[in-house]
A and B are shown apart, each in its own frame.
Chain A
């Protein structure tokens, strides 16, 4: 019976061969998939072995770590809670990060190629040095002012957003979205706490998880007139060019009249372009838009950044918070010809025109920076674990929609809006402030949205800040005045340096 015994040996050999082949499959071919599987807690534990980098602004930590006794050695904490949440986002244990925590995840976690030196030295010393740190461009005073003024607004508005930018560099000085949320429970190590907090926020009708400053767009109302004015100036008109106005305008082929917000706004037949902007003359700009044609209006809007779908704001290298696109709408009839009524309404920021708050701020910043639009960014510096700079942002021109002459004209016209027109609430002592208000009608029966886009120059003539504030559904009319007031305060805080 030796022959069958030898065959039994062969059977065992085959069975072990199967085991060996399968082990190669599991530990070789599938190893990477298993190593990084969502079910693999080791990934999480290893991630929490080293402290995640700190996110800070003006030397103030906005996301940091607290050592724990648990298996996950560090608890992510957000000391400022709601104020910075839309920018920083949160870092949950088992789910996807958001905000800067997401876009700078590799650097914060220390796994970025940029931090290879840290990892190599860890390998020799056996230490777990922390991930890289992120310094934001935000100015804490501007951010706090924006949050305080927005949440304590005088009109009881529940939703809105504000952004301030340094027009000379594109550095974001403040970015606030209301309502916001406390990211701390979302970073909880207890999955039940996370889920409860997440579900509550996610089901909230006010959408606190939505960053209204960049990820949402709304009809911009009269702030659109800045773009139409730019188109007119580029088409050869001047500040003093007389344009047709009047109390009522019925665009060709339309049943709906366009009227002015107040009876006393441009009642005469003719106003100058500067007066029309200062008083926010609807009939004048609607006619102007129709006169310029849909192509020109759309082109100018696109030159300012409308229609760009892939803009991110974060690191100038490309990763960052995704920015929703701003849109002009088609303004066309089904046969392809221009829909004059739509063009007229679009020229005053109604119909299908949509703008993000960031786009509003970029509009003002372009005017303030002699027509050059700087690419907006949030990450000022990336520091390694020893706080040595790995990357430092320096301004980058994104596009140049208008030349310096047109920019100068627009600047003077917008300063006139704040000095003599609808935006007087935005005035700041010691600064030259310009801007444009906007009141956007939306759904039937709903309150208007209030907008303000503006900029401020200091006494030395430097463009220190540009901003945009948007308040959703402001009860009781005059929606833009409160936006103008808040805008002025944010820019004042952003322009201040040191202790003032």
Chain B
């Protein structure tokens, strides 16, 4: 794409930040080797270099397909992704040492696999940027995407446990040695659908209301979609046994609803309904058991993880949570240093508990930095939503960014004992293809929308400087519903 004179794309800033991220990843890898082998091998830089090559390729794609995209998103996400690969490779190195195996190859073990998944994810992200040149195109497929989203959410719930359950949460499709977490992709599809639906319904939902206690409440019949999604998420809670996922979908919906209607009442109704539902599920779990029992157990474990009875419990006990907390505590403020901790005591340290495993080694300061990077990604996503001009783009970017933040909150809050533990992955960090691919698609979408928001309204700088204000772009076939008296 030809460079537009006088308008900054900040692509070189992106390149510089990316370089900085990759230096951090390389230093991390070197520290790991220094702590594990007591010396740094001559090839410590190879994983970082391979990652740099991958991210550099995406950077080039961005230069040509989304030149005005936010320059911070890619380097920030690349840093988290790189740290994840580095930590997983650290687990491989520790395993190789304890098995007396030679230095692990760069494509071996979980670290190597994660590197391969990163390659696949970046290809997907690049394809999305290349194929979807205008994010409004997505709205054409909104209903299809909505259907796909719901199907993806429901598949693990209806599959037998043997094909869908890992660590007590039914969030998976397991075929042979392979497992996919369809919910990760579902959130992308659902955001697009919600955004489209709400752009159409926003007038109705925001204007027709009854005033009660100083707050505008919607009409009964307009509550339909909210109630539907609420029920859906509670079903997810009960049948997929996962509070986090339920919270994620419901939060996603309520926030897009709130953004579309600008009505705080929707937030209040949503939160009350959700937490009321959760509390009822807890009570039902205590008295009735059955499908509610799992959630009740998890809440019990959350309330008192150090209880010996919960700790000893083989299935659904607090062993993992406790070991994660102990790891975090052992790390303390500064951590033991990359490669110097014992993440091996936390069974699922490569997946759900990666944050606890890293926390032992990089300490409170390291984790805080990591949280700030996540915050940066989320806030940059929200900024893209604010900058973009069309309602659909705003809702999609806002919804995606918020979901990402919510997911980080749900999993990190879960492993640190702030909320009941759930089976979510940590975006960009956890090992596993579904999560990485879905989240890179999410980032690609944010890049696309931020590009749309930051580039001149049309064509060149002359238009932008002098031309008349363009009316907001209309969605394909989206007729805004009007209130009938």
Q: Which residues of A approach B to under 8 Å, CB–CB?
A: 1-9, 11-13, 15-16, 18-20, 22-24, 26-28, 30-35, 37, 39-42, 45, 71, 126
Contacts and interface: CB of A to CB of B under 8 A. Distances in A.
3 residue pairs, one from A and one from B, having the closest CB atoms: A34-B329, A27-B364, A12-B405
Contact of B38 (A3, A31, A33, A126): A126
Given A8-B398, A15-B405, A37 B326 contact: yes
A47 B15 CA distance: 46
Contact of A31 (B333, B386, B405): B333
7 contacts: A3-B262, A4-B259, A8-B402, A9-B379, A16-B408, A37-B326, A39-B323
B412 to A, nearest CB: 5
B255 interface: yes
A13 B364 CA distance: 18
The prevalent SS among residues of B at the interface is helix
Contacts of A2: 386, 394
Interface stretch (B75-83, B212-220, B370-378, B436-444): B370-378
Given A22-B416, A26-B417, A39-B306, A8 B367 contact: no
B151 to A, nearest CB: 27
A26 B413 CA distance: 11
Given A5-B386, A8-B255, A22 B413 contact: yes
A126 B386 CA distance: 53
Interface in B380-400: 382, 385-386, 391, 394-395, 398
Contacts of A13: 375, 379
A448 B116 CA distance: 81
B311, B395, B398, B406 interface centre (most CB from chain A within 10 Å)? B398
Contacts of A26: 325, 328-329, 416-417
Given A27-B364, A35-B332, A45-B342, A1 B259 contact: yes
A45 B323 CA distance: 14
B259, B329, B379, B413 interface centre (most CB from chain A within 10 Å)? B329
Nearest to B199: A1
B107 interface: no
Given A5-B259, A126-B38, A19 B332 contact: no
Nearest to B262: A4
A268 to B, nearest CB: 70
A343 to B, nearest CB: 52
A12 B306 CA distance: 30
Report the contact-size class of chain B (Cβ under 8 Å from the partner). Answer: 35 or more
A20 B364 CA distance: 9
Contacts of A5: 259, 382, 385-386, 394, 398
B345 interface: yes
B395 to A, nearest CB: 8
Contacts, number: 134
B394 A42 contact: no
Contacts of A28: 332-333, 364
A7, A13, A33 interface centre (most CB from chain B within 10 Å)? A7
Interface string B326-366: 11111111000000011001000000000000010001100
Interface in B422-471: none
Contacts of B402: 8, 11-12
B409 interface: yes
B332 A6 contact: no
A27 B306 contact: no
B191 to A, nearest CB: 13
Contacts of B333: 27-28, 31
Nearest to A14: B409
B260 interface: yes
B295 interface: no
Given A12-B375, A15-B409, A45-B342, A30 B394 contact: no
A34 B409 contact: no
Contacts of B371: 16, 19-20, 23
Contacts of B162: none
B96 to A, nearest CB: 15
Contacts of B418: 18-19, 22
A40 B325 CA distance: 10
A71 B345 CA distance: 11
A204 to B, nearest CB: 26
B367 A23 contact: yes
Given A24-B364, A34-B325, 10 more contacts: A1-B260, A13-B379, A18-B409, A18-B418, A19-B409, A20-B371, A22-B417, A23-B359, A30-B325, A39-B323
Contacts of B330: 31, 34-35, 40, 42
A71 B95 CA distance: 12
A30 B329 CA distance: 7
Contacts of B368: 20, 23
A4 B258 contact: yes
A37 B326 CA distance: 8
A3 B394 CA distance: 12
B416 to A, nearest CB: 5
B72 to A, nearest CB: 15
